[in-house]
Amino acid sequence: MTVFLWIPLAIVALWLVVLVAFARPLLARWREPVLRHPVLVIESDDWGAGPLEQAKALRELAAMLGRIRDGTGRPALMTLGMVFEVPDGPRILADGGTTYHGLPLSDPRFDEVCAAIKEGIAAGVFVPQLHGQAHYWPPALLAAAQSDASVRTWLTSPEPAATEDLPSHLQSRWVDAATLPSRPLDAAAIDAAVTFECESYRALFAAAPQVAVATTFVWSDAVERAWARAGIDTVITPGRRATCRDASGAPGGVDARMLNGDRAASGMTYLVRDVYFEPIKGHEPERLAAALAARTRQGRACLIETHRANFFGARAASLAALERGLRRALDEWPTLRFVAPLELARAIRERDPDWIATRSLPRLAARCARIAEIPRFRRAAYWTGLMLPLSRCNRRL
């Protein structure tokens, strides 16, 4: 055999080695269903208990979303990650700061906030989902307040406080981050807390929650088991599960990675939300349309994460940025559909042909577009020359 035959054979063998080495993530992306339409979900967290200015922000958001329609006539919709409690500062102060008391969303001072949420739901522009009874673990907050004056001041605030002002690690509900690294919570305490917050949700919306998103995206298998027992169907994730706050306070202890439609051990369906759109951080409307284009190429829904804080002080500018982003997305993708996460999860789970591509070429193109995101695979494919045939294949599709 001549050298001219050996060299191509060796290259092909090298490519096979690379493909086998990355077989698991490649197969996972191959199996992940491919959507047949561009799909956009605006996911917004932290609504409910907290600053009373939310009522005005929610009404303005609802009016703006209602003006924008997809090709099926459905208005743009936004999920509201719901929080049902903030600290009752005056009561905590009266007890010398040693006992926690919550101020629930059912308190009459939040009536306007609740009314605005319900009006938006009735108009088809808001979809509530469970974020947590509180945006923190109360015993951890109380413990941290003993040594941190700023946390103590926040905890005893006379007005409903904004959890955005807490140190980031204390905003995680499902760990004890009073000291770092955080410690896991007792499973029985998690169970009781999930049961309680599902009751809060049911009291407000007359229905059990079906979609959950953990505060700061830190949660655990024990939390998932409790959610599943409470009837949660779909879990919003960033594509990985962080289980703790590390010594620096950052999310850590990643013990699972997931793609859209993957199932939890308890049977719940995962969705991936990995695009950030925070106008108060300088994100331009173009970011939203660009993210939609990238996810559409991958045959995935574009789940955009944003927070209520955008719509407080800089409300007008943030509203305008979101509206421009949505309109631009619709201009560029006229077949775009707005959808609620629960519907999306069901469509993926059931391989609904109205939502899931069945033709070979679009599926192959989307799978090729997903390959580049696999950590280290792109580099290995580049250095072995495998990227060349893959890129040619992608371009042809």
Q: Which residues contact Zn ion (rule: CB under 5 A)? A: 45-46, 215
265 burial (CB, 10 Å; 0-12 / 13-18 / 19+) is exposed
What helix, strand, coil percent values describe the chain, rounded to 5?
50, 15, 35
Which residue number, 46 or 197, has a Cβ lying nearer to Zn ion? 46
Rounded-to-integer distance, Cα 379 and Cα 119, Å: 50
Which residue number, 142 or 166, has a Cβ lying nearer to Zn ion? 166
Which residue number, 34 or 144, has a Cβ lying nearer to Zn ion? 144
Report the candidate in 344, 284, 377, 369 with the shortest Cα–Cα distance to residue 39: 344
HEC sequence for 106-147: CCHHHHHHHHHHHHHHHCCCEEEEEEECCCCCHHHHHHHHCC
Least separation in angstroms between residue 99's CB and Zn ion is 25
Least separation in angstroms between residue 185's CB and Zn ion is 18
Beta partners for 176?
183
Least separation in angstroms between residue 73's CB and Zn ion is 31
Tokens standing for residue 3: 């050298």
Q: How many CB atoms lie within 10 A of CB 179?
A: 14
Rounded-to-integer distance, Cα 268 and Cα 232, Å: 7
Least separation in angstroms between residue 46's CB and Zn ion is 4
Least separation in angstroms between residue 80's CB and Zn ion is 11
Which residue number, 46 or 85, has a Cβ lying nearer to Zn ion? 46
Rounded-to-integer distance, Cα 128 and Cα 59, Å: 15
Least separation in angstroms between residue 58's CB and Zn ion is 16
In the structure, how many helices (H) and strands (E) does the chain have? 15, 15
Which residue number, 133 or 215, has a Cβ lying nearer to Zn ion? 215
Least separation in angstroms between residue 197's CB and Zn ion is 14
β pairing state of 251-252 and 244-245: antiparallel
Report the candidate in 168, 165, 103, 101 with the shortest Cα–Cα distance to residue 139: 101
Least separation in angstroms between residue 281's CB and Zn ion is 15
Report the candidate in 328, 244, 342, 307 with the shortest Cα–Cα distance to residue 68: 328
Which residue number, 45 or 224, has a Cβ lying nearer to Zn ion? 45
Which residue number, 216 or 296, has a Cβ lying nearer to Zn ion? 216
Rounded-to-integer distance, Cα 300 and Cα 259, Å: 10
- Dihedral angle sign, alpha carbons of residues 8, 12, 13, 14: positive
Q: 94-103, long-range: CB within 8 Å, 24+ apart, which pairs? A: 97/142, 97/145, 97/146, 97/152, 97/155, 97/156, 98/142, 99/142, 100/138, 100/139, 100/141, 100/142, 102/133, 102/134, 102/138, 103/49, 103/160
Q: Which residue is nearest to Zn ion (CB)?
A: 45
Rounded-to-integer distance, Cα 262 and Cα 44, Å: 22
Q: What are phi and psi of 167, to 5 degrees?
A: -55, 140
Which residue number, 66 or 102, has a Cβ lying nearer to Zn ion? 102
Which residue number, 10 or 250, has a Cβ lying nearer to Zn ion? 250
Which residue number, 46 or 224, has a Cβ lying nearer to Zn ion? 46
* The one-letter amino acid at 72: T
Least separation in angstroms between residue 45's CB and Zn ion is 4
Least separation in angstroms between residue 97's CB and Zn ion is 25
